Amino acid sequence: MTDAPYPYRQLVFSGGGLRCFWHGGFLEAFTETRALRPDRITGSSGGALSAAAWVLGAERRLRDMFADAMAGLDSNVTLDDLGSDDGRSVHQRTYDAILDKLLDASALARIAEGPAFQINVATPGTSRAPTARALLGGTIYQAEQLLSPTPRPRLSTLAGMEQRLIDARQAAQNGTLADLIRMAATVPPAFRPDDWNGETIFDGGMVDKAPMPDPDDGPTLVLLTKRFHALPDDENGRITFVEPGEDILPGRKLDFTDPGLLVEAWDQGRDDGRRWRNKIA
């Protein structure tokens, strides 16, 4: 490994369900010969979990934990899930169990002492009928992604959805980081939403799939888990957007019944990481 780390001061993890295991494979290969030491990190949706695992150096452990959990699943939803107090889908229960194991006291202490780390979420604020607003915002978001795919959705704000960047290090200190990461991936109606500081929290991807840190300063590496027709403008040339070489897990990003999907996403990330490492070297 060379002495000089990559020049990126900021690292952004986009969401994408199981596609987020691409992050782990990419960074493992990308940092094989050169370190990455960002000052600030952000994560959106499943990318919040990817970011936490990367800070901990536990990406492979996280992949194996998910694979073990998914090996025992043969359905993504059942009728019994609709009345469950633990959540309305296999996804939320699996997520909860894995977060509890991954984020023990030692892990929380390491994250609290690590680089600045913010988690992106969406909220309708303190308005009435928050889930209805989130469903409307999600529908608008899906339509926008179908017609004009972009990492920076704009139209969900028409439903009153707002962005929040929450301090993950403070949540780690408070022992609430697992709750925050779970809330950051809450997609209605499959996940039961919860409140954070008096606001109902939902998946941040509907307001920003690639959230820049606050403050936002310096060369930035943005890890996207899907390909887009157009990327946001970068007038200063300081943002490097990395897209997968080809679409990952098309139509199966939320299929928790096949552990092989994790390996598929990881291996593609590894191949893309090697390609980008050679490109930047």
pLDDT tens-place string over residues 152-194: 666 566 667 789 999 999 999 999 999 999 999 888 766 778 8
Cβ atoms 48, 184 nearer than 8 A: yes
Rg (CA), the chain: 18
> Is cis: bond before 189, omega within 30 of 0?
yes
Longest dimension (CA), the chain: 55
Domain ranges of the chain: 10-280
- H/E/C letters for each residue in the chain? CCCCCCCCCEEEECCCHHHHHHHHHHHHHHCCCCCCCCCEEEEECHHHHHHHHHHHCCHHHHHHHHHHHHHCCCCCCCHHHHHCCCCCCHHHHHHHHHHHHHCCHHHHHHHHCCCEEEEEEEECCCCCCHHHHHHHHHHHHHHHHHHCCCCCCCHHHHHCCEEEEEEHHHHHHHCCHHHHHHHCCCCCCCCCCEEECCEEEEEHHHCCCCCCCCCCCCCEEEECCCCCCCCCCCCCCCEEEECCCCCCCCCCCCCCCCCHHHHHHHHHHHHHHHHHHHHHC
162 or 58: which leads in pLDDT: 58
| Predicted pLDDT of residue 209 | 86
| Predicted pLDDT of residue 205 | 85
CA-to-CA distance for 156 and 145, rounded, in angstroms? 11
pLDDT tens column, 201-211: 888 888 888 89
Tokens at 230, concatenated: 């157009």
Tokens at 153, concatenated: 């959705």
DSSP-assigned beta bridge partners for residue 122? 163, 202
CA-to-CA distance for 73 and 69, rounded, in angstroms? 7
Distances from the Cα of 22 to the Cαs of 79, 104, 154, 268, in angstroms? 31, 24, 26, 6
Cβ atoms 186, 156 nearer than 8 A: no
Which residues are annotated as catalytic?
45, 203
pTM: 0.91
Non-local CB neighbours of 180 within 8 Å, separated by 6+ positions: 48, 119, 121, 166, 168, 171, 196
| 87-91, 144-148, 177-181, 192-196: the lowest-pLDDT one | 144-148
The one-letter amino acid at 117:
F
Residue 234 has pLDDT above 80, yes or no: no
| 16-20, 77-81, 149-153, 219-223: the lowest-pLDDT one | 77-81
Fold of the 10-280 domain: Cytosolic phospholipase A2 catalytic domain (3.40.1090)
